[in-house]
Amino acid sequence: MAIRLLNLLAPATILFIAVALLIDPVSLLSTANKTFLGQLPYALALVVALLAYGFNRNQILFATLNLISGYLMIQLGLQVSLDQPNAYVLFSILSILLPINITFIATYSERGLFTPLGLTRLAGVLLGYLLLGLLWSNDSLAAQLPNLPTNMFEMFFAERFLSNMSAVFYGVALLTTLIYFVTQRGHGSAGVLISLVASLGMFIWFDLPNISTLLVTAALIAMGIAVVQNSHKMAYLDELTEIPARRALQDKLATLGKRYTLAMVDIDHFKKFNDTYGHDIGDQVLRMVAAKLASVSGGGKAYRYGGEEFTLVFPGKDEAQALPFVEQLRELIANYPLYIRDEQRPEDKKRGAQMRKQKAKSDHTNVTISIGVCEKTDEHLDAAAVMKQADKALYEAKNNGRNQSVAAHYKPEAPKRRRTRKDYA
């Protein structure tokens, strides 16, 4: 899990490091180039917002709107000394408004934008900035200076730009965002966390030249990458089993050479699991089988073809070479005791393993699979023809009693079928 979380944040980490390295070089740019750089976040925000909307990633959409709205207010009203009352009040309110919005955005689930709830959330993100912008344009913020809490005046006396009150709000936002990021482990939560880091950096290092432009640019690029990664995951990774899906298989088949072997895998009597135990247990069966298939050795790779069917791809191997690895998987699955998950069963894998050892009479069953194997030969025009022949071998395995592997061409001398503790199928 830790590796997956780090992978989600890897692009943002690289970009933020780049920001630290570019602060001095950017300060040497011409005025025209700095002006262009200052406009870049708006274009990036538009692109990221459209991507997020298109892929229904509303967390990243709201985080983008929140970040770019804060950036707009900084560019419009905070390019002057904070000794000016109007600027000081604007800075102080922004340092609270940004983390408040981020805290709420971190808790949002993905819903449609043009729904009552979606529009309410959108209004919640933007209304504060609209009101703040209106007060700033009328030079009305300075009048609010005496109304600021006392713990927002530390900047007058200390060499820092984050007041105690703002630090509290950012602390709450950070804690909330981290909790949702760790528990959800999604690209949406990663995008919200990235926007939090960027906005916090803008206030902590507010005196550095071009810091808001650089941080917002880096954050928006990272958030755009998160949307693309999420869309790629949706297209190429099966959500239930978390192994590559059919589209990924099609891409893989298009890159194979003239020598390879395909194995079509089907769970025996899968409908019985759903009828006997329910669809939740059926999903558990699919996840278990997928996890075992994903551990295939011999250079093979597992894909979910659809329903209860899976495909194994062995590049550079013929049937005789691939069959031992296929049989190894079949026996592994057939002899694996599938414990029926109940309310007391922990999600933690280690704890689950301990409970399986302790419960000698636990309710469990066994799953078997049938496999059809076919290698690429001159008689096959393409991968589709190889897969069709593997399907025929699979049907033969089913007709022969299931829980076995059948190769289209290679026929071993002795059948490699081992009796299981419980032949459910």
Tens digit of pLDDT for each residue in 317-334? 999 999 999 999 999 999
Is the pLDDT assigned to residue 419 strictly greater than 70?
Answer: no
Is the pLDDT assigned to residue 114 strictly greater than 60?
Answer: yes
Q: What are the backbone angles phi and psi of residue 315, rounded to the nearest 5°? A: -65, 140
Give the pair of three-digit tokens for residue 303: 């894909």
Active site positions, annotated: 308
**According to the model, what pLDDT value does residue 72 have?**
96
**According to the model, what pLDDT value does residue 350 have?**
61
Least confident range of 14-18, 175-179, 277-281: 277-281
Question: DSSP per residue over 68-111, as a string?
Answer: HHHHHHHHHH-SS-TTSHHHHHHHHHHHHHHHHHHHHHHH----
**Which tens digits make up the pLDDT trace of 51-79?**
999 888 899 999 999 999 999 999 999 98
Alpha-carbon separation of residue 184 from 108, 189, 252, 256, 310 (angstroms):
11, 7, 29, 36, 27
Confidence of residue 310 (pLDDT cuts 50, 70, 90): very high
Confidence of residue 7 (pLDDT cuts 50, 70, 90): confident
Close Cβ partners of 111 (under 8 Å, ≥ 6 residues apart): 58, 117, 118
**Which tens digits make up the pLDDT trace of 211-240?**
999 999 999 999 999 999 888 888 788 888
**According to the model, what pLDDT value does residue 39 have?**
95
For residues 358 and 85, the model is more confident at 85
Q: Find the distance separating the first CA and the last CA of the chain, reported in whole Å.
A: 34
Cα 9–Cα 179–Cα 124 angle in degrees, nearest 5: 90
Residues belonging to the chain: 425
Is the pLDDT assigned to residue 156 strictly greater than 70?
Answer: no
**According to the model, what pLDDT value does residue 360 have?**
43
**According to the model, what pLDDT value does residue 179 have?**
93
Is the pLDDT assigned to residue 126 strictly greater than 70?
Answer: yes
Beta carbons of 363 and 344 less than 8 angstroms apart: no
Q: What's the average model confidence in pLDDT over 168-175?
A: 94
**According to the model, what pLDDT value does residue 326 have?**
94
List, as own/partner pairs, every contact residues 250-257 make where C-beta atoms lie below 8 angstroms and the sequence separation is at least 24, other chains included. 252/301, 252/303, 252/313, 253/313, 253/383, 253/387, 254/383, 256/313, 256/315, 256/376, 256/383, 257/315, 257/316
Confidence of residue 361 (pLDDT cuts 50, 70, 90): very low
Beta carbons of 226 and 194 less than 8 angstroms apart: yes
**According to the model, what pLDDT value does residue 253 have?**
92
Q: Is 405 helix (H, G, I), strand (E, B) or coil?
A: strand
**According to the model, what pLDDT value does residue 40 have?**
95
**According to the model, what pLDDT value does residue 425 have?**
47
Is the pLDDT assigned to residue 177 strictly greater than 70?
Answer: yes
Strands 301-306 and 369-375: unpaired
Is the pLDDT assigned to residue 103 strictly greater than 80?
Answer: yes
* Strand-pair partners of 310: 265, 304
The residue whose two tokens read 């990663």 is 190
Confidence of residue 162 (pLDDT cuts 50, 70, 90): confident
**According to the model, what pLDDT value does residue 416 have?**
53
d(CA 302, CA 311): 6
Is the pLDDT assigned to residue 163 strictly greater than 70?
Answer: yes
Is the pLDDT assigned to residue 194 strictly greater than 60?
Answer: yes
Mean per-residue pLDDT of the chain: 87
Beta carbons of 423 and 403 less than 8 angstroms apart: yes
Q: What are the backbone angles phi and psi of residue 260, rounded to the nearest 5°? A: -165, 170
Q: What's the average model confidence in pLDDT over 279-305?
A: 92
Query: What percent of the chain stands above pLDDT 90?
Result: 56
